Structure 1
């Protein structure tokens, strides 16, 4: 009989040979200092010595905040541990509606819709809009890429953060376009591996010139940028020019889930047509409660100031150790280039008690391997000094 199955052993072997095979290494807690265990497979984890974590997207340190944890507990006790069904069936609770009102206030828009994840929000939104053409930044997140694969008639990729190349590609497409084509421009506002910020206003200018809609992913900006943590779109005064704004509740807000923000027609269309919303159980109430409290803290407290007070000296220290650290955000990519060199650097800083991941192709382009360093508001000055010292020692060994 012909074997029409899948040789997954060979596939894993190929990943192993390319240093691309990944493992699940459990962590004891979501804190700035915690213990890790090597992948235990089916057994219990055996934790080693604690290490400082500079790899988390919990930028404001809210995942371990007592107030956020109490809000999650209260939601579980009063509403339930799970939503029980799709929100279009019975899973739409007063907590979901309250969070959506709070997000709309934070974003300065008419309405928001909460999804089970930021990934689901991106894929579901592009698919529901079903644009004839998407213009997508070359370094957009995988969830945007997958949304384009599923929902776009055609995807045109423009050079990273390059409004001139974007304008040229739009002009070229205009010459062959049908009059009734729908166009969508999609960009991250803060790029997760490069730490740079998209030139939103210039992108909006070009999009407006061609009558296209603009969609901005604020995953790494919500809670971090802007006077009230409203993100880059609001900080730059572009709320009325960005047609679709979305993001996640799982990074600076320390919870889980995603959201889309926009006008009433957009949200009504998505709750009817976004398959990742329609056919998914509603976001778990504890995550909703946690996100709502985290949003309040992010808007009212000093967490953002504490974060930036760690970002600047950490960047200065890494650059002082003769590392190249590009970007304009709380994400600090330490560029190395070579795949083997970046893995060696990752191991060296890990031996010195610092957890920061090596990022290499295909996550980033070949030859641009880097260590992604991400401080949080919960790190102390001593933690930052320890991180700099580990990189300095690893460089000079």
Structure 2
């Protein structure tokens, strides 16, 4: 009989030949430092004897091992349960979910919020539920936005990265088409872009959206918890009344798991009923919801955000003073290397010096823009920052970049 299956061995070999094969590397804890194991395959992981500093995580506020966050998760597990047990629309809705969503809505300045099982599910579910006719999408938007666009019947128009002028020209060109008067338009952008560290010009994008009557959806995955009052870039720029849909995650600065959408009461009612990734998924686990609530409270009412931005400034200044080209204007510090082999060699040199900051290569980033994505945490102390800078200096000299 003819084999109509899949040649997976050939696929893996092709990845290895192109140096694009990635592997899991288990760590003993999620924090600013930890013990890592080499890729174990099907075997049990064996942890390294040397502790490494982590400068690659999205745990920006360092709250994953905060005692208050852990206690909140334990309490929710003990009193509510370890899992929601069903879709929120069946029996999986709890007071813990309601409390989280109330706090998110308050932080984001909206009428309501809705939590999803992941940020990916939030983006895909929201875009498909809205069923826009045309979507205008930043060229560097996250894969979950791209996939949400693909799953709709909408025509997707891509505009230049963080370029409101490019967006306006795309909107103007579309407005000249015969069908434009009957179309629904949605503009979607990340606020902070995860691989470039760039921040979208949201005020200018709002102006373009309002000029042409489009709705705006902003993905605050890498901004939630880090800006004004624990909000994102939308809050920092005072745009709550001009952005119809605010999306974000609970799995980065909020040290938990899941995603959310914040907006009007009508928006949330539509998502509760029409977002398939919400309707047909088990509700967010109560411990995850409680952990995110506590982390958001800490982000709003402590100095943890200030400590993060101090570390960001120290690390950026140090890297730039050495001669490294550091991209972006956020807490994400991509060190541009260019050549793929040099980027891999630099990452390996850092790892030898017990600093974890992997090389980012195509297809994640465009050809010729290989980089080291550096992300300090609020819980790194000044000695940790100095150690990271010294590792970059020594490894950069070894590779011939300095």
> Which interval holds the TM-score relative to the shorter structure?
over 0.9
User: Structure 1: how far apart are the matches of 2:156 and 2:389?
Assistant: 41
Corresponding residue SS for 1:151: coil
Superposed, 1:8-157 pairs within 5 Å as 8-48=8-48, 49-157=50-158
User: Structure 1: how far apart are the matches of 2:261 and 2:250?
Assistant: 11
CA distance 1:380–1:278, shift in 2 (3 Å): same
User: Structure 2: how far apart are the matches of 1:8 and 1:369?
Assistant: 27
CA drift at 1:2: 2.3
CA drift at 1:177: 4.7
- For structure 1, the 5+ residue unaligned runs are none
Q: Residues 255 and 291 of structure 1 are in contact (CA less than 8 Å); yes or no, is this contact kept in structure 2?
A: yes
User: Structure 2: how far apart are the matches of 1:152 and 1:244?
Assistant: 20
Question: What is residue 199 of structure 1 aligned with on the other side?
Answer: 201
Question: What is residue 214 of structure 1 aligned with on the other side?
Answer: 216
Corresponding residue SS for 1:333: strand
- For structure 2, the 5+ residue unaligned runs are none
The answer to whether residue 185 in structure 2 is matched with residue 183 in structure 1 is yes
- State TM-score, norm by structure 1: 0.99
User: Structure 1: how far apart are the matches of 2:129 and 2:260?
Assistant: 15
Question: What is residue 360 of structure 1 aligned with on the other side?
Answer: 361
User: Structure 1: how far apart are the matches of 2:251 and 2:110?
Assistant: 21
Q: Residues 126 and 152 of structure 1 are in contact (CA less than 8 Å); yes or no, is this contact kept in structure 2?
A: no
Question: What is residue 271 of structure 1 aligned with on the other side?
Answer: 272
Instruction: Decide which moves more: 66-75 or 9-18.
Output: 9-18
Corresponding residue SS for 2:323: coil
User: Structure 2: how far apart are the matches of 1:82 and 1:190?
Assistant: 31
User: Structure 1: how far apart are the matches of 2:392 and 2:331?
Assistant: 18
Query: How many residue pairs end up in the alignment?
Result: 396
CA drift at 1:395: 1.4
Q: Residues 86 and 279 of structure 1 are in contact (CA less than 8 Å); yes or no, is this contact kept in structure 2?
A: yes
Q: Residues 111 and 267 of structure 1 are in contact (CA less than 8 Å); yes or no, is this contact kept in structure 2?
A: yes
Q: Residues 134 and 152 of structure 1 are in contact (CA less than 8 Å); yes or no, is this contact kept in structure 2?
A: no
Over residues 229-270 of structure 1, what are the superposed CA-to-partner deviations in whole Å (9 max), with x where a residue is unaligned?
111111111111101000000000101110000000000000
The answer to whether residue 243 in structure 2 is matched with residue 247 in structure 1 is no
User: Structure 1: how far apart are the matches of 2:279 and 2:390?
Assistant: 49
Over residues 345-389 of structure 1, what are the superposed CA-to-partner deviations in whole Å (9 max), with x where a residue is unaligned?
110111111000111111111111100000010000000000010
Superposed, 1:333-372 pairs within 5 Å as 333-372=334-373
CA drift at 1:43: 2.0
